[in-house]
A and B are shown apart, each in its own frame.
Chain A
């Protein structure tokens, strides 16, 4: 079956622009997670959804970052007024239930010039 997919695989934008990153979880997985991985570092938690609601958004760095999952499947991570420090690989993961194994997507590499 299909794994977690993320689009685009690469995104280059200019400082100050708005970007959207999409995650398509494994079908039937109720929990969806977003992480950010900077070069040479481990993934850092941003937010996770159980169904349509954000169960824990404590990792979002500031109010420029926002994520939605309106129908409990696909999720979009939205970043406003991008800054160079936002450059990283954004990873999405899903799991069948909240505490089950998380399956990761290939990531979106965001570069802010």
Chain B
């Protein structure tokens, strides 16, 4: 079945460092891919998405490219800020007749000043 695997956290970085959070997936067909973020004390929010191979999703300085050949959707940001500290979830939406999201286990990012 469909599944998502993320790199384990926590990830601790200094402000202005480069961020990569790895995400790989297993799915049949052509899933849509998402990154959600959960800031402390808040609900899940969609950060970015990509719906087909080679698409690049971007938002708030974050980017992720849908790589079908490596079944990956790694999240990157060139210069993190303290306010980026949160839990990041990679997720997929299968191409079958279903609306459900399949999430990875989440990666906690802590950015220190």
Contacts and interface: CB of A to CB of B under 8 A. Distances in A.
Given A99-B93, A104-B44, A105-B43, A40 B106 contact: yes
Interface in A52-77: 55-56, 59
A107 B105 contact: no
A91 B103 CA distance: 13
B105 A98 contact: no
Nearest to A47: B100
Contacts of B105: 40-42
A33 to B, nearest CB: 7
A93 to B, nearest CB: 8
B4 to A, nearest CB: 8
Interface residues of B, number: 21
Interface residues of A, number: 28
Given A40-B106, A99-B93, A45 B101 contact: yes
Nearest to A59: B100
Contact of B99 (A91, A95, A106): A95
B100 A43 contact: no
A43 B99 contact: no
Nearest to A49: B99
A13 B3 CA distance: 32
B46 A91 contact: no
Interface in A3-44: 3-4, 31, 33, 35, 40-44
Interface of B: 4, 32, 36, 42-46, 49, 89, 91, 93, 98-106
Q: Which 6 A-B pairs have the closest CB atoms?
A: A42-B103, A104-B44, A98-B99, A45-B100, A106-B43, A104-B43
